[in-house]
């Protein structure tokens, strides 16, 4: 079997076109321009490129975007004050503080300081809690993108064995939670594997849908999956630099070998990555609607 490629690039493009039209309509009919601020502390090259991509996409969709870059030695208080400033800025409907933050800053404290109604990342404990109980909230962007890709690829999730590798707050925990919710696109039997899992292969080999977010390049090989599995690779690992100075990326899944066994698989790049950014835009537009009393 050679897998169908689940293109995040194509799916993201389709959703972005819908969003662009929605932004134009919001502006024309209601004089509302969705606004996003991204805050980056430090000079991590991967974070710099993610934040730049988020702002570029916002701009392309007609979303007002502000990009704040602070030095790595910025104090926690200074960052908290900045978040507070944007909490009360009516032009801004979404606040994103890029993670990870430098070690001297308490990440939890900063995420908690963001107004939950502007938390377009879906990381505030209020939104995490709402998601857990299935209430309307901002869903975290990468897990939401993963769900969209699975659904739009026509994969049945109800009763499926879903195995998630990786237990981060950003991907593993929320995606596992979303897949087991009692609703369309959920209803799966979910296993969450992590670094202390005793027999990883036992689990990955039983998966109907395998979601990998471990941050280890090419970790999952063909002999660890079953024939016909649907594979969602969340990993974005920089494994080198091309002659032209561009980062060479690899996923957490050994794409070349696994694609010969899988029914469907996401590539890296061009899989989950573009979906994450698109879901951020979707949340920002949703937030603008809510703030204008239109949702
Ligand atoms: N770092 C890696 N992924 C993300 C994300 O989705 N949002 C934020 N804020 N930081 C990240």
Q: What is the residue with the minimal CA distance to atom 1 of ligand 1?
A: 99
Asked if residues 233 and 266 have their Cβ atoms less than 8 Å apart, the reply is yes
Catalytic residue among 118, 119, 121, 286: 121
pLDDT at 117: 98
Pick the atom of ligand 1 nearest to 99's CA. 10
Residue whose pair of structure tokens reads 């502007």 in the numeric block:
118
User: What is the pTM (predicted TM-score) of this model?
Assistant: 0.96
pLDDT at 295: 86
What domains appear along the chain, each with residue ranges and CATH number? 30-121 (3.40.50.10860), 141-272 (3.40.50.720)
pLDDT at 1: 76
pLDDT at 56: 98
- From the CA of 39, how far away is ligand 1's center (Å)? 11
Mutate which of 42, 50, 67, 276 for ligand 1 pocket (most atoms within 8 A of beta carbon): 50
Tens of pLDDT, residue by residue, the chain (295 residues): 799 999 999 999 999 999 999 999 999 999 999 999 999 999 999 999 999 999 999 999 999 999 999 999 999 999 999 999 999 999 999 999 999 999 999 999 999 999 999 999 999 999 999 999 999 999 999 999 999 999 999 999 999 999 999 999 999 999 999 999 999 999 999 999 999 999 999 999 999 999 999 999 999 999 999 999 999 999 999 999 999 989 999 999 999 999 999 999 999 999 999 999 999 999 999 999 999 999 8
Q: By C-alpha distance, which of 196, 178, 200, 197 is closest to 187?
A: 178
Start-to-end Cα distance in the chain:
45
Asked if residues 95 and 87 have their Cβ atoms less than 8 Å apart, the reply is yes
Residue 54 appears among annotated catalytic residues: yes
Distance CA 252, CA 274 (A): 17
Whether residue 141 has its Cβ less than 6 Å from ligand 1 = yes
Largest CA-CA distance found in the chain, in angstroms, rounded? 57
Q: Please state the three-class secondary structure of the chain as a single string.
A: CCCEECCHHHHHHHHHHHHHHHHHHHHHHHCCCCEEEEEEECCCHHHHHHHHHHHHHHHHCCCEEEEEEECCCCCHHHHHHHHHHHHCCCCCCEEEECCCCCCCCCHHHHHHHCCHHHCCCCCCHHHHHHHHCCCCCCCCHHHHHHHHHHHHCCCCCCCCEEEEECCCCCCHHHHHHHHHCCCCCCCCEEEEECCCCCCHHHHHCCCCEEEECCCCCCCECHHHCCCCCEEEECCCEEEEECCCCCEEEECCECHHHHCCCCCEECCCCCCHHHHHHHHHHHHHHHHHHHHCCCC
């Amino acid at each position: 079997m050679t897998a169908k490629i689940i293109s995040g690039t194509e799916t993201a493009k389709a959703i972005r076109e819908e969003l662009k039209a929605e932004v134009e309509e919001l502006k024309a009919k209601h004089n509302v321009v969705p606004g996003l601020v991204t805050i980056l502390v430090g000079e991590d090259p991967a974070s710099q490129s993610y934040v730049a991509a988020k702002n570029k996409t916002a701009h392309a969709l007609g979303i007002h975007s502000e990009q704040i870059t602070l030095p790595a030695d910025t104090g926690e208080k200074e960052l908290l004050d900045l978040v507070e400033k944007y909490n009360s800025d009516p032009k801004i409907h979404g606040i994103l503080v890029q993670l990870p933050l430098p070690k001297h800053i308490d990440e939890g404290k900063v995420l908690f300081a963001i107004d939950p109604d502007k938390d377009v990342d879906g990381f505030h404990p209020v939104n995490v809690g709402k998601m857990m109980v299935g209430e309307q909230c901002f869903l975290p962007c990468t897990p939401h993108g993963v769900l969209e890709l699975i659904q739009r690829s026509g994969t049945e999730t109800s009763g499926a064995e879903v195995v998630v590798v990786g237990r981060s707050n950003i991907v593993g925990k929320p995606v596992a939670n979303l897949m087991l919710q009692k609703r369309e696109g959920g209803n799966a039997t979910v296993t969450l594997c992590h670094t202390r899992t005793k027999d990883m292969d036992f689990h990955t080999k039983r998966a109907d849908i395998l979601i990998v977010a471990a941050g280890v390049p090419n970790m999952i090989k063909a002999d660890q999956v079953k024939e016909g599995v649907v594979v969602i690779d969340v990993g974005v690992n920089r494994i080198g630099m091309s002659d032209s100075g561009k980062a060479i990326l690899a996923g957490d899944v050994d794409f070349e070998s696994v694609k010969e066994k899988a029914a469907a698989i996401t590539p890296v790049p061009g899989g989950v990555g573009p979906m994450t950014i698109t879901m951020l835009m979707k949340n920002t537009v949703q937030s603008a609607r809510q703030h204008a009393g239109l949702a």
